[in-house]
Each structure stands twice: as C-alpha cells, then as structure tokens.
Structure 1
Amino acid sequence: MGAGWLSRWPVIRQLKGEDGRGQAARSARTDALRPRVEGADTVARSVCPYCAVGCGQLVYVKDGRVTQIEGDPGSPISRGRLCPKGSASKQLVTHPGRQTTVLYRRPHGTEWEPLDLETAMDMIADRVVRTRRETWQQTHEGQEVRRTLGIAGLGGATLDNEENYLMKKLYTALGAIQVENQARI
C-alpha cells in the first residue's frame, strides 16, 4: 500500500475539493461557527477543583465572566485532558442554581434563613473559640498533649494542595489532631 492511499480517501478528496463534493461537506452554519474561546479577554491557568490529581485548566474570561474552561495542554499532569467532572467545572461558577448567599438553619428549626457573611463568620469564630476553650486538654494520662478533641477537620476534594495545606496549618494551630481529607478516604 503506497503513500497515495491517503489522497484517495473520500474525506480527504472532499475537503480538498477534488471530487466536486467538497462543498457538500460544508454549510453556512458550519462556516459561521467560531471557537467558544475566540472572544476571551483573558486566559487564566488554573487547577481542576474536583480531586487530588490536579489536572491543569485554562479558564477563559470575557467582560469579567467565565466563558469556557478547557484542559491545559501545557499541564504535565493532564496534558490537556479533563475527566467529565473537570470538563463540566464551568458550572461551578456560572450555573444559575449556584448558591451565592449564606443560609442558616437554627437549632430545631425547619426553615433556612439568609445571613450576611460577616454575621456567619462571627458565629463560626465564636463557636470555634468556645469549643476549643471547653474541650482543651493540656495533659492526658500524665503526658503533655496540648490538644482538643472537640474540633476536627475534613477537607474536600475541591480543595487544592495549597488550600489543604492552609487548612492543616489552621487546625494544627487550634490544637485539633483529627484532620483528614476526603480525597484520600
């Protein structure tokens, strides 16, 4: 089989326009199509937030809004490929059903109520400080332990390495010793 077999392949002949059917493979709609990333103002390199693999992503932004997320061919980890979850990660920031406000359900309550972020953060800080104070152990069975068993941390797969590092540092500074990550479980 010689090198000429490729030029005899019907698709190649159509696209080259050699057999009169080249235009049959095209339409006005096909000619009008443009890449989804063509009009982007900026492109940011990022890491997929779904698991511990760390696949590289290119995030395309136009007018301050994410318009497309694709695999980064320059990533030595994923070489431009994304799994189905990574391919759909644009929805994390653009889906209309995305929760954008803090909701709180009071103890024994049945309804969620909106809270402003500052109030929610103050509530969390107060509870962390109170729990640490109430459950602090300076010693255990004669050994100095300086810990609390009242606070634990479970990181999620949507946290990257840097975020997990900071979470571990925070929990360690609080004296928590039960720190794990869902991506490892």
Structure 2
Amino acid sequence: MTERSRRLEPRTASADRVVKSVCPYCAVGCAQDVYVKDGRILDIEGDPDSPISRGRLCPKGSATFQLVTGSHRIHDVLYRRPGGTEWERIPLEKAMDMVAERVKRTRDETWEDTDVNGLNVRRTLGIAHLGGATLDNEENYLIKKLFTALGIVQVENQARI
C-alpha cells in the first residue's frame, strides 16, 4: 500500500452533519443520507437504515449529488411570451413570481363563494393540479394542504397509473 492510499478517506468523513432525505426520482421512496459540511453538500449515499432500499440506490438515485450540486444545473427558465415565436431566458425567481401572480389573478377571477344552489363552497374551479409519480407522500400532503387553502378542489395525482 502506498502512502497516498493510506491517507485516503471517504468524502463523508469530514461531514459535520447528516441530513435524512428521500430520492426525488420515482415513487419508490429510497432513503438517502445527505452529508453536509459548512452548509454545503459533500456527498449523497443510500441510507442503510431504510427498510425500503436498505442503503442501495439505483443509477439515477446515485447521481442525485450531481442533480443538486452540478455546474450544469439550470438557474434560468425559458419563457415564450403570449403570441411570441422566440424563447427568452429569465431568472428562476422572476418565473416563480409570474406563476404566483397568475395563480392569484386566476383565483380572484374565478372565485365562488356559493354554488348555483346557494350552498357555501368557497372554491375556485379555474385552477387544477395533476401531480406526478416522483412526488413523495410528504410533498403530496403539502401540495394538497396548499391547494385546499387556496380553494382549489381539483387536485389529482397520477402515481397510481
């Protein structure tokens, strides 16, 4: 064994904490250990305490580190204005503000306090949500709570397909 080999240690050895997480890629819900030092992610590994994955990750789950830290990660959004023919790059924060403004405007414009029979419904039928299979139970719970608070009643998930 060389001197260099003797000095080698895993990236996880210098972490100051381990944060539990769930892989975002599919509905299996493989648990992950996220190794963090000084607020930066050092590595992401399978959680050996997980009864689902027992510390194993598929190739996509194993690449989660690059998903959250890679230099190729996109921080802008492509946007095409109504009637436009070209895409323009805008900051993610601006795109999120635009989505929030449109949700608020649509909710305000389509709000119903009562239905045609005079029953109190306090809802909007102008917004619907269809979730995907990559959302875990906690994310679906929070989405349902948010949309219910907004008065959105058409909330569905295709994970069972």
Is residue 99 of structure 2 the alignment partner of residue 124 of structure 1? Answer: yes
Letter in 2 for 1:36: R
Deviation at 1:121, TM superposition (A): 4.0
Give, in whole Å, the separation in 2 of the partners of 1:38 and 1:172.
Answer: 44
* Per-residue deviation, 1:46: 1.4
State the secondary structure of the residue aligned to 1:90: helix
The within-5 A match list for 1:127-166 is: 127-137=102-112, 138-140=114-116, 142=117, 144=119, 145-166=121-142
> 1:29-178, aligned counterparts within 5 Å?
33-109=8-84, 110-115=86-91, 117=93, 119-137=94-112, 138-140=114-116, 142=117, 144=119, 145-178=121-154
- The gaps in structure 2 that reach 5 residues or longer are none
Q: Give, in whole Å, the separation in 2 of the partners of 1:30 and 1:115.
A: 44
Instruction: Give secondary structure in 1 for the equivalent of 2:32.
Output: strand
The alpha-carbon deviation at position 39 of structure 1 amounts to 2.8
Contact in 1 for aligned 2:147/2:153 (Cα 8 Å): yes
> Which amino acid letter does the alignment assign opposite residue 20 of structure 2?
R
Q: Secondary structure at the match of 2:9?
A: coil
Across the aligned residues of Structure 1 and Structure 2, the Cα RMSD in angstroms comes to 2.7
Question: Which residue type is aligned with residue 131 of structure 1?
Answer: T
Distance in structure 1 (CA, Å) of the matches to 2:149 and 2:13: 47
Distance 1:116 1:48 in 2: 23
Q: Do 1:46 and 1:59's aligned partners in 2 also have CA atoms closer than 8 Å?
A: yes
Question: 5+ residue gaps in structure 1?
Answer: 1-25
Larger RCO, structure (CA 8 Å, separation 6 or more): 2
Per the normalisation by structure 1, the TM-score is 0.69
Cα contact 1:40–1:60 (8 A) shared by 2: yes
Kept in 1, the 8 Å contact 2:79–2:88? The answer is yes
One-letter amino acid of the structure 1 residue matched with residue 87 of structure 2: E
Shift of 1:111: 2.2
Equivalenced residues, count: 158
TM-score, scaled to structure 2? 0.78
* Cα deviations by residue, 1:86-117 (Å, 9 ceiling, x for unpaired): 11111221121111245533223312232462
The CA distance in 1 between the partners of 2:65 and 2:138, in whole Å, is 21
Larger Rg: 1
Q: Is the 8 A contact 1:151 1:178 kept in 2?
A: yes
In the TM superposition, what is the alpha-carbon distance from 1:179 to its structure 2 partner?
Answer: 1.2
Query: Residue 152 of structure 1: CA displacement?
Result: 0.9
For 2:57 and 2:80, the matched residues in 1 are separated by 37
Report the AA paired with residue 143 of structure 2.
Answer: M
Identity %: 66
Q: Equivalents in 2 of 1:124, 1:176: separation in Å? A: 15
